Amino acid sequence: MTRSPSSGGCFDVDHKRLKIEELDSIAARPNFWDDQKKAQALLRDKKGLEQVVTAYDAQVRALSDAEVLLELADEASDEASAKEAETTVANVQKSLDDLEFRRMLSGELDGGGAIVQVTAGAGGVDASDWAQMLMRMLIRYADRKSWKVEVLDETPAEEAGIKSATFTVAGDFAYGLLKAENGVHRLVRVSPFDANGRRQTSFAAVTVTADIDDTIEVDINEVDLKIDTYRAGGAGGQHVNKTDSAVRITHMPTGIVVQCQNERSQHSNKAKAMKLLRAKMYDYELAKREAKAAEDAKSRLKIEWGSQIRSYVLFPYQQVNDHRTEVKTSDISGVLDGDLDDLIRTYLLQSANARG
């Protein structure tokens, strides 16, 4: 049976159609563009609603066509047409499942971009190497989604890997999906840096914040900022920056620190660093708004060992285990190459169901 396009079931399409009409009415007002930021935000909301409604209507039409085809196939005993109809129904179900998943990503900022920070923790050189592996994993996941990645800051470790890195990810639902990676990640393997071939456990932390746009107000007082400049690092030779172009900004009241060194000019690095700070501050304020104390909000910025969200075991067996959902897979190579859909989807659906 088809679902009526006027009802929309769990997608609440009726309400979305009414909301689109309301936003169309507001956009038609003569003074609509007087406040450009507000107008752009409204049009983004309208576009998001239209995408859901259009996608839902398309699936309802496809399902209706498939049912007609199936009836005709039954009457004519046409097995090929019957199989075609069944395939269409299966594809429609998958598309509706995808729409339902998107509905789960209903947070205010879920549909936008993300800022991802990877930081090496306990485990010495193995932790630095692990941080770089994690960075690659997340960037490969972004590549699979056709999202755009821009590395803003990358601090190499002395022997191998990285101490930390920060990059932005631009694409539909980048933040809504990547926020599932927030937390401490644990690696167990035979260390390639240990001459005795001993097993090593190392940790790295992933922090994901929403890449907020200029329509969201974040109050930052200039007098609360400590701005340091330093010479950007690099691979050496002609690529080493000869001036103090890298910028580090510390928000003194909260202790939040951001930095950027990948742009050639100090001005560009400062602009990118301020963008990072706005996102971090917004995330910090959200934590307090959600009835968490200021100390709880600050602790989100720290790496809490012993509270890893996921373990990646390469030896003595191969397994990835998400401790939040107990989803396990032996395809550790696939996961490290960015195949994170099952892990992320299960966690986000479980979280949405827990919220009711």
Contact of 113 with 169, CB cutoff 8 Å = yes
Q: What span, in angstroms and rounded, lies between the C-alpha atoms of 259 and 300? A: 18
- Peptide linkage before 156 cis (omega within 30 of 0): no
Asked if the domains 9-104 and 114-355 are classified in one and the same CATH topology, the answer is no
Strand 183-190: give its sheet, edge to edge.
Answer: 148-156, 162-170, 114-120, 199-210, 183-190, 308-313, 319-322, 327-329
Pick the CATH number of 9-104 from 2.40.50.100, 3.40.50.300, 3.20.20.60, 1.20.58.410: 1.20.58.410
Q: What span, in angstroms and rounded, lies between the C-alpha atoms of 211 and 324? A: 25
| The two three-digit tokens of residue 32, written as one number | 């609509």
pLDDT by residue, tens only, the chain of 356 residues: 333 333 455 567 888 899 999 999 999 999 999 998 889 889 988 987 888 888 888 888 888 888 888 888 778 787 888 788 888 888 887 777 777 776 678 777 888 999 999 999 988 999 999 999 999 999 999 999 999 999 999 999 999 999 999 999 999 899 999 999 999 999 999 999 998 889 999 999 999 999 987 667 788 999 999 999 988 765 443 444 556 789 999 999 999 999 999 888 999 999 999 989 989 998 887 776 665 434 544 544 455 455 789 999 999 999 999 999 999 999 999 999 999 999 999 999 888 777 65
pLDDT at residue 56, rounded to an integer: 83
pLDDT at residue 306, rounded to an integer: 59
Q: Is the dihedral of CA 340, 342, 343, 346 positive or negative?
A: positive
**Residue 264: how many other CB atoms lie within 10 Å:** 11
User: How is the chain split into domains, by residue range?
Assistant: 9-104, 114-355
pLDDT at residue 53, rounded to an integer: 87
Strand 256-260: give its sheet, edge to edge.
Answer: 225-230, 246-251, 256-260
Contact of 180 with 347, CB cutoff 8 Å = yes
CATH code for residues 114-355: 3.30.70.1660
Of 182, 131, 176, the residue nearest 324 (C-alpha): 182
Contacts of 147 (CB under 8 A, 6+ apart): 169, 170, 171, 174
Contact of 279 with 211, CB cutoff 8 Å = yes
Q: What span, in angstroms and rounded, lies between the C-alpha atoms of 186 and 207? A: 14
Grouping H, G, I as helix, E, B as strand and the rest as coil, residue 169 is strand
